[in-house]
């Protein structure tokens, strides 16, 4: 099999399973978590550093929201079984780079990875992410090239893959839709908050391994209960709205 076909085959396989990346990243972290130390040996500074890492992840979510808020239906979706595209997005953030959602994903995951404070884990993640998404992007671009031909090539030739070129910016053709963002990205926000909460508890547990589980339960901080409670309440409410009503439906999105 020629390399181009092999890369496309690998990309199709990885594209189908890309939704499981967060779980894989969490699993791999357990091989590096022993390297973790609190900044200056203080839980207070650990929380400050955690806030910075959370901002990195939220920046990634912001990129995703800016992307999703302006795109039409049948583009930039969470489809996994096959490629879907009715048009080539060329305005808004898609005038700056070709794969804004994957750039957003990178920062979303990077914030969580940085929270572990392991150089080897961070380096492993970056290399893993590049290997994984390079093949997915290759497959997607092959699909778009075959479907849209010269129209796609003209846009791709002047638009970088992942590093934005702000001189290319063109205003979005559609108005920003907060409803579309909430409908499609509420799992991402929920996932970020829960993963940060879980990591913080795991790190706290590893620092207190000499105590019993019941004693550990007693030292869980109030912000953990608030974080998990608010996250689950938000997720349940929005999911009920999405599944049982049409409040978040937007024509053409």
Domain coverage including residue 126: 3-177
9-45 residue pLDDT tens:
766 777 777 777 777 877 888 888 877 888 888 888 9
109 in a domain, yes or no? yes
130 in a domain, yes or no? yes
CB atoms < 10 A from the CB of 240, how many?
A: 10
119 in a domain, yes or no? yes
The pLDDT score that the predictor gives to residue 71 is 85
163 in a domain, yes or no? yes
198 in a domain, yes or no? no
Closest by alpha carbon to 98, among 152, 178, 176, 21? 152
* CATH number of the domain to which 171 belongs: 1.20.120.1630
Contact 27, 82 (CB under 8 A): no
Read off the pTM: 0.88
112 in a domain, yes or no? yes
**Is pLDDT of 253 > 70?**
no
Q: What is the DSSP string of 171-192?
A: --SS---HHHHHHHHHHHHHHH
The pLDDT score that the predictor gives to residue 251 is 73
206-243 residue pLDDT tens:
777 666 666 667 767 788 889 999 999 999 999 999 99
**Is pLDDT of 79 > 60?**
no
Number of domains in the chain: 1
């Amino acid at each position: 099999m020629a390399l181009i076909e092999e890369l496309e085959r690998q990309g199709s396989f990885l594209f189908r399973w890309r939704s499981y990346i967060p779980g894989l990243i969490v699993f791999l972290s357990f091989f590096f978590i022993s390297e973790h130390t609190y900044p200056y040996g203080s839980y207070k500074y650990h929380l400050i550093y955690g806030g910075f890492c959370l901002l990195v992840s939220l920046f990634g979510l912001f990129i995703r929201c800016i992307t999703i808020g302006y795109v039409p239906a049948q583009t930039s979706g969470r489809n996994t079984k096959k490629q879907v595209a009715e048009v080539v997005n060329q305005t808004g953030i898609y005038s700056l780079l070709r794969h804004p959602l994957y750039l957003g994903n990178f920062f979303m995951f990077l914030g969580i990875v940085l929270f572990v404070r392991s150089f080897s884990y961070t380096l492993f993640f970056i290399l893993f992410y590049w290997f994984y998404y390079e093949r997915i992007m290759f497959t997607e671009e092959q699909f778009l090239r075959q479907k849209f031909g010269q129209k796609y090539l003209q846009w791709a030739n002047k638009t970088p893959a992942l590093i934005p070129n702000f001189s290319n910016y063109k205003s979005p053709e559609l108005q920003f839709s907060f409803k579309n963002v909430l409908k499609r990205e509420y799992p991402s926000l929920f996932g970020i908050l829960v993963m940060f909460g879980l990591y913080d508890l795991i790190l706290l547990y590893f620092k207190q391994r000499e105590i019993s589980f019941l004693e550990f339960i007693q030292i869980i901080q109030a912000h953990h209960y608030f974080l998990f409670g608010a996250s689950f309440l938000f997720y349940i409410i929005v999911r009920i709205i999405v599944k049982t009503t049409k409040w978040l439906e937007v024509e053409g999105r």
